[in-house]
Amino acid sequence: MFTFNFGATVWGVVLLPFAAAAGCASESAPPSGDADLLARDQAFVSIARTLSKELTQKADATSGGAALSVPSSHAKDSFYVAINKKELNRRYFLSAYAKQLLANPQPGPFPATSLGTRVVTFRVQNGKLFVFDAQDGLASSDIFDPSSIIEAYPLVGDYEPFLSLRGHDDYVLFDPAGGLNRFGIVSDAYAKGDKPLHFQVDLSYLQNFRRVNDGATFEQVFTGALNDTTTGSPDYDENWYRISGTLGVALRRYTEGKGFTPFDAGKVSQEYYYRSPPLLVKNTGGTLERAIKWNINSGMAPIKWFISDPVLQVAKEHPKYDIVGAIKAGIENWNQVFGFKVFEASVAGPGDSFGDDDKNYFIYDPNPNGIAYADWRLNPNTGEIRGASVYFSAGFFRDAIEKLDPPTRAFKRTIQPKTPPRIREMTWGSFRPTRLCALWAGASDERNDEDGPRAAKLTGAQAVNKYITHIALHEIGHALGLRHNFKGSLVPPPQQSSVMDYIEVSDAAATDPAPPGPYDHAAVKLLYGLSKSEPTQPFCTDRIPSIDPTCATFDRTEDPLMKYWGANYNEHLKFILRGEGATEHQRNIEQRYLDGTAAFLRAGSTIDQGRAWQQLNELLAVGIDHAADNAKYPGYTDRLSEFQNWMLNRVFLEPPPTPNGGIPAIPVLVGDTLKAIVTELRGVTVNSDKYRGWNTRRTSVDVLKKLQTQSAYEALLSARTNLAEVRTSLPAGSPEAMLMDDLLARIDAATRPYYTK
């Protein structure tokens, strides 16, 4: 498999292919010293090749030292690879993994990412070793079965250290560093529509060749730059698009797990599971999708997971918390679902690497970038998971301490953005990142909400440990094949029906015990053949846009509209109206609670629409006497009118600034809810309680126009009659009279005609 580590943050997708890089074929290399190296009949053999002094200096100059970020004591050593001719007709897994990346000016948030796996065969022709896609399901019929070239590596001829070895005639020597090198960048910030940007690879070499029992792995280090900027030009070193990285490559013989039974993803009613790429069913015009799963059975040896060793330093520095035990629990607690030992976790040793294709890794990164995600390497023919990894940033540990054990102040609080930043990341040819989840620390409510941990009678340290376990459970659940279930929180807190939801920190910490939930048990047992029944618990995922407002992240309780979204909306609104910390409370409402409440107005049931409007307008409604509030909090009604104006614009006239799935941007109202809103808007338009400013009144006219209903039309006409009468009593030429004339003209424009269709 290939491995990459990525740099700076960018949100979106656009591919930028990279140009081919020539290998370094002219450099001499000493003989290996082992004349029988090829006589052992191995599938792949590395042939030593030392870079020239000139080329080594070029590596340092062009990469700015970036290649040194790869942890190798032989970073400047390189090699060719020899493939046994007997292997040319055999199928292999070719896997890619992004292990290291430096994207000027800094590393990005998504290191350690699988780019996927292909089933391939090899063919020698025209001085190259061609790599062909040999996956099943590529032929649409007996007539159309196209060949697809994935890579082409130049052959190396007349290389004396290779030709001097006994058995060299049985091998083909090639240069993996001199392939097509079609690296790319996925980023909405650096794309120009559908036109890719050019990437020139300036230098590419190999390191860390490693034979495994069914093939070999190695790493390709590269450096280059986007666009036409060339090495040596005055602005090269300042090029924002300069990239250096390490691609982990694995070539392992194709096998299918003994006794593995593929799972037809189409036989279940919901999108519980991740799916393998669709396979064409020859001569039928149809496709087949497999659910992703491991080859798990009761007689198996446990699947080993390695926890990266930086976690030991964290445990030493913060002995109050059992972070190693918390992560192990997050991995091994899934064993109880199966009833036998499936996963076994331990801390990695000095000889282990997260880039090794034959190891499963839980990567604890001391960098507090605040993200966690899972990915896997699979057999695209069957959906069998061959290996997996989880990335876990220290940001979650910091977030947990800040929210659940704040007296320790072990870390300075770092607030993560509500909307993740844009992500810059790499691709290689047709290989793309296969990340299953991108969970951000700090994405939930930022209050220090300890109700859950207190209810469970946990100490701060216990709550922190449980939160870390929850995050690990969530990501390992993805690695088992489970998609998100964003209805896992629709139960009385702090319990959850699924760890595959995004939930509040306090709820995640308070769930006691902290195993997978009942939904998780049911879904995993069905996938792995331990049950024939689908889960009965509420379910929704991010596979298909939701039109269900209860399918939401970071909500809580069995009635999130009233007990979470609406309750928090009004809690923050009270402070805004009083003029107490208005900026912070406005931000919380704007970024979270208004849209969560309004989703029920936009797409809820008839009953929920009415309840949502009550929550949105309860403190703002026309007809409430605010004399006492004005006296106690000067400017209260001015703030009330300003906020109502903002709320009406946000709910009825502007699409939400955050992704809203399939939920309509503008509410479609009926029945009593429509009647209540029309009544309120008419009262605002005529300013019946004398608290509404002109901006709010004008917005009310616009919303009544937007509704396009008979009742809203009649309300506008009625309001105009009332306002025209008031206008007769206003002094001619006064500001009040001019503003009234403007409002009347606005109503006239809205009603002549009213209906736009």
Three-class HEC string of 15-73: CCCECCCCCCCCCCCCCCCCCCCHHHCCCEEEEEEECCHHHHHHHHHHHCCHHHHCCCC
Residue 37 has pLDDT above 70, yes or no: yes
| Comparison of pLDDT for 636 and 206, the residue scoring more | 636
Give the other-Cβ count within 10 Å of 571's Cβ: 14
| Per-residue pLDDT, 453 | 55
State the DSSP string of 564-624. Answer: IIHHHHHHHHHHHHHTSSHHHHHHHIIIIIHHHHHHHHHHS-HHHHHHHHHHHHTTT-TT-
| Per-residue pLDDT, 544 | 63
| Per-residue pLDDT, 584 | 87
Task: Tell me if 331 sits within 8 A of 369, measured CB to CB.
Answer: no
| Per-residue pLDDT, 581 | 85
Tell how many helices (H) and how many strands (E) occur in the chain: 21, 23
Task: Tell me if 393 sits within 8 A of 372, measured CB to CB.
Answer: yes
Residues 6 or more apart whose CB falls under 8 angstroms from that of 625 comprise none
| Comparison of pLDDT for 330 and 581, the residue scoring more | 330
- pTM for the full model? 0.84
**What are the pLDDT digits (tens) for 437-490?**
777 676 665 444 445 555 567 888 999 999 999 999 999 999 999 999 999 999
The answer to which of 142-146, 234-238, 367-371, 729-733 has the lowest mean pLDDT is 234-238
Residue 230 has pLDDT above 50, yes or no: no
Residue 50 has pLDDT above 80, yes or no: no
The answer to which of 365-369, 383-387, 412-416 has the lowest mean pLDDT is 412-416
Average of per-residue pLDDT values in the chain: 83
Average pLDDT over residues 226-244: 53
| Per-residue pLDDT, 557 | 93
From residue 510, give the alpha-carbon distance in Å to each of 29, 492, 500. Answer: 61, 12, 16
Task: Tell me if 481 sits within 8 A of 292, measured CB to CB.
Answer: yes
Residue 231 has pLDDT above 50, yes or no: no
Q: Is 606 exposed, middle or buried (0-12, 13-18, 19+ CB in 10 A)?
A: exposed
Residue 16 has pLDDT above 60, yes or no: no
The answer to which of 86-100, 353-367, 561-575, 644-658 has the lowest mean pLDDT is 644-658
Residue 664 has pLDDT above 80, yes or no: no
- Helices 323-332, 310-317: axis angle to 10 degrees equals 130
The answer to which of 49-63, 293-307, 656-670, 702-716 has the lowest mean pLDDT is 49-63
Average pLDDT over residues 522-534: 97
Percent of the residues in the chain that have a pLDDT greater than 70, as a whole number: 79
Output the CA torsion sign for 468, 471, 476, 480: positive
Beta bridge partners of 200: 225
| Per-residue pLDDT, 543 | 67
Please state the domain extents for the chain.
Answer: 3-253, 560-751
Radius of gyration of the chain (CA): 31
Percent of the residues in the chain that have a pLDDT greater than 90, as a whole number: 58
Task: Tell me if 216 sits within 8 A of 251, measured CB to CB.
Answer: yes
From residue 224, give the alpha-carbon distance in Å to each of 67, 188, 198, 247, 269. Answer: 12, 20, 10, 14, 48
| Comparison of pLDDT for 432 and 146, the residue scoring more | 146
